[in-house]
Amino acid sequence: MDKKILTVIGGVALVFALAACSGGGPDLEDGMWEITTEVNMPDMPMKIPPMVYRHCLSREDIIPKQGPADQEICTYSTPKTKGNTVSWSVECQSPGGKTRHEGEITYRGTSFDGSIIMSMTGAVDMSGTNHISGRRIGDCQ
């Protein structure tokens, strides 16, 4: 075989080998994360203060979740990952109505930023876009 062909074949093989070894998934460091959500709902009469909570995140559990409220049943979609960006949706049903969230965050090792588009129907109809950010604060307990 010609040396140029062997070099091209070797280069292609190296690219595939590096892709297989990269581990895939977002640049996320497993551990306990402090997550801040800033609610932005134009129909609200007053601004809601940011909510801060902690959640253990890993490559197997990449969606920051804040647990459903009492009497609320939530269903999460399978997350979609493109590079360091993760997107998902969740629907929650409660006696007061239904909420739907469309989230997208971009991980950067020990931090992330993103947004969640939320809509509520039922007893109250509202929608808004929330900013979400997080930072790794240590190991999971």
- Output the six-digit token pair for 49: 């203060």
Mean pLDDT by 10 residues, the chain (141 residues): 38 33 76 94 82 93 79 88 96 91 97 96 89 97 83
Q: What is the pTM of this model?
A: 0.76
* Domain CATH for 92: 2.40.128
CB 84 within 8 A of CB 27: yes
Greatest Cα pair distance in the chain:
75
Q: CA 26 from chain center: how many Å?
A: 10
Residue 11 covered by a domain: no
Residue 18 covered by a domain: no
Tell me the per-residue pLDDT of 1-32, one tens digit each, with 9 for 90 and over: 444 433 333 333 333 333 333 457 899 999 99
Rounded to an integer, what distance in angstroms lies between the CA atom of residue 41 and that of residue 118?
9
Q: Which residues contact 12 (CB under 8 A, 6 or more apart)?
A: none
Structural domain count, the chain: 1
Which of 100, 48, 91 is closest to 73 using CA atoms?
91
Residue 41 covered by a domain: yes
Looking at residue 126, its pLDDT comes to: 87
Residue 20 sits at φ, ψ, to 5 deg, of -70, -35
Q: Please give the residue range of the domain that contains residue 53.
A: 25-138
Rounded to an integer, what distance in angstroms lies between the CA atom of residue 25 and that of residue 81?
7
Looking at residue 70, its pLDDT comes to: 67
Rounded to an integer, what distance in angstroms lies between the CA atom of residue 63 and that of residue 130?
15
Helix/strand/coil for 10: helix
